[in-house]
Amino acid sequence: MHVGPADASDIFTDNQRWADVDAWNEAVAELHAKGGIHRVEREGFKPFWAIIDHSALIEIERQHTLFTNEPEPVLQNDAIIKNRVGVIKSLIHVDDPLHGKLRRMTSDWFKPASIRRMNDRLESLSLEAIAKLEKFEGRCDFARDIALAYPLQVILGLLGLPEEDYGRMLKLTQELFGAEDPDLQRDADSGEDAGDVIADFNRYFTQLTEDRRAQPTDDLASLIANGRIDGEPLPLLETFGYYTIVATAGHDTTSAAMAGGLEALIKNPDQLKRLQAEPDLIPNAVEEMIRWTSPVRHFMRTAQDDTEILGQKIRKGDWLYLSYKGANLDPMVFEDPLRFDIARSDANRQVAFGVGVHFCLGATLARNELRSLFSHLLPRLDTIEFDGLPTTSKTTFVGGHKTLPIRYRLR
């Protein structure tokens, strides 16, 4: 256990630390050497315990009545919590029994057998991505030109939203997740903030709900709009929360794994060559890319009783920060964790999708998207290198590459 302000534990609260992911990784390695749980006391934040230990994180997530998502599942500073106007009530914001009921409404849609329905769409999006690379003639920004669009198109298709809403949805997602990053947040001059972003989402989804209630279709948006809980129509707040979590959670996360995965291959040309020669390794490589990028940087839990974690006393009401990336770099589980290794035998022990009742609903879909894209891309890549410095979003919640300039030759 480590207490105190002037140490590496500001990697959890300081969004600027995410501008340099390698330095972040080194800092978490330093913390691992001291222990798997760290007390973080920073001005402007309610103190919390940061969990970077792989098995402790899993244990906490499994005990979902002892460690709840309510009331604050995402780290926010005191000022934001105090001045918050917009409220989101989505799967990650609630606990049982409501959580289980909400989740059962759509869980069949996300099962591997149902997700297989999406495979043709994924194949055509992967081919579109290759066609774009051809069009860009050897230079592009992989993060913006390819990785950003692909998962969003998948989500729009899943929800049944028209392609012309693509721009709007992209902007809203980025503004919501990028509230801390000046390049992504809502224009400061507009005098608006995350509350206004949520209000915009709600306006858009009110119309969608009305449309789908009037004319039900066979898409996910219709299922949500016409969803019932205990025989009653889903209240509006929960309905909006559902759209928002599906629209946002399935988008930036998967983009981040795609761009971060490609960057890792460029930095490790031996791995790239091997993956091209042994495409059967792609599913394992995808697990490693997800471990490596861990696009969801944290979720919070609140202890509902006095307890103990890794020998540390935890009091009722204490806030816990689950560092998915920290756990995915735990040297007790992953040998030489800062090495990117597509053939790592235990890559599938990564916990980037979480664990237990809140386990990522879109995990199969995300894996399939990454597998499809890389299966199409790798055989076509003759050469690839950086064409400038990549940049990453300065956010403590969900993030990855903002830019990944590349120069390449296709076969």
Which positions touch ligand HEM (CB under 6 A)? 61, 91-92, 103, 245-246, 249-250, 253-254, 257, 290, 295-296, 299, 324, 352-356, 358-362, 365-366
In the complex, what is the shortest distance from the CB of residue 139 to ligand HEM, in angstroms, rounded to a whole number?
Answer: 26
In the complex, what is the shortest distance from the CB of residue 379 to ligand HEM, in angstroms, rounded to a whole number?
Answer: 23
In the complex, what is the shortest distance from the CB of residue 248 to ligand HEM, in angstroms, rounded to a whole number?
Answer: 9
In the complex, what is the shortest distance from the CB of residue 277 to ligand HEM, in angstroms, rounded to a whole number?
Answer: 25
Distances (CA, A) of 115 to 17, 71, 110, 119, 288: 36, 32, 6, 7, 22
Q: Residue 11's closest CA among 34, 28, 30? A: 28
- Using CA atoms, how far apart are residues 393 and 398, in angstroms rounded to an integer? 9
140 beta partners:
406
State the alpha helices, DSSP H only, in 215-353.
220-225, 236-249, 252-267, 269-277, 282-293, 324-328
Nearer of residues 177 and 353 to ligand HEM, judged by Cβ: 353
Nearer of residues 275 and 290 to ligand HEM, judged by Cβ: 290
Nearer of residues 354 and 399 to ligand HEM, judged by Cβ: 354
In the complex, what is the shortest distance from the CB of residue 254 to ligand HEM, in angstroms, rounded to a whole number?
Answer: 4
Is the backbone peptide bond immediately before 97 cis, with ω within 30 degrees of 0?
yes
Half-sphere exposure of 354 (CA within 13 A, CB side): 25
- Using CA atoms, how far apart are residues 391 and 178, in angstroms rounded to an integer? 14
Nearer of residues 1 and 149 to ligand HEM, judged by Cβ: 149
Nearer of residues 105 and 184 to ligand HEM, judged by Cβ: 105
In the complex, what is the shortest distance from the CB of residue 138 to ligand HEM, in angstroms, rounded to a whole number?
Answer: 28
Nearer of residues 133 and 290 to ligand HEM, judged by Cβ: 290
Cβ–Cβ < 8 Å for 25, 330: no
